[in-house]
Structure 1
């Protein structure tokens, strides 16, 4: 009984085992996203995995920031339309989608808003992820654009339906809009 595999078969099998993952990483959207996430993490950009549906205005700053102790938030007090205290940090991802930065806004000890600047290349992936987690959004017209809105008990999550060339892609959670 001959149990030896033919050389061409082993060569093809070895090529598939080596080239298959590389082709997936380079050619598929999921592979590209996972490659981006890995490289961002490798270069020290931490993930910011935030349960947006659980955000409440009464969440204390120290409690929220302690949940993300690996992210270095810089906080400052300065009057703004959205809140008097802002904590900002560079991040690598937001809930599995490559992102750039996170900003948290408080006013009178109440969480007022969260802004996430994400990478525009992953806009559709972000919308699909939000649809999967929170169901279909409501479409609201604001000016000349359309915003997708997910409503929660204590706030609302807003994402532009299409990106505007001059503005950085961002999503916002705003309290009290539910």
Structure 2
């Protein structure tokens, strides 16, 4: 990375026709936001950031490891939401362990609300729909990803999500722990 590119900290989002937005810092693609991920329904498709790179070009995220193909870069999701699995893979069921169920929901892009570049930062803001395996919209999310504070050896990502329950009923957030598995508190 050239000192000039880092020095001016110019970040530019570029929406490509392949379902991705790439955040450029000069010639370096600092981040790729995969808005329309091509993955099977059992992996609970949802937008994610990968690769994320340092200003030196080092990739710091991974995608689809062989034992957890639903793990993709940096993403926001939930393993247990009133019986639905937006995380991906099998669902932990009390007394049965991890069980394949037909409950893998999706988090999908609805529309862009804002995509801007300013002095030393850029911002992506969009609306998403959390849909159950049956296709019912349970949540509307307004997500903002802000990239900025670029220096020679670092940069900042600020992720903000605002969720609104659109299901018409109370939703319960949980995790494998809330379903009876010890030491698996990820996701809540």
Superposed pair shares fold, TM > 0.5:
no
Structure whose residues are more often strand by fraction? 2
Give TM-score, length-normalised by structure 1: 0.28
Give TM-score, length-normalised by structure 2: 0.27
Structure of higher CA gyration radius: 1
Structure whose residues are more often helix by fraction? 1
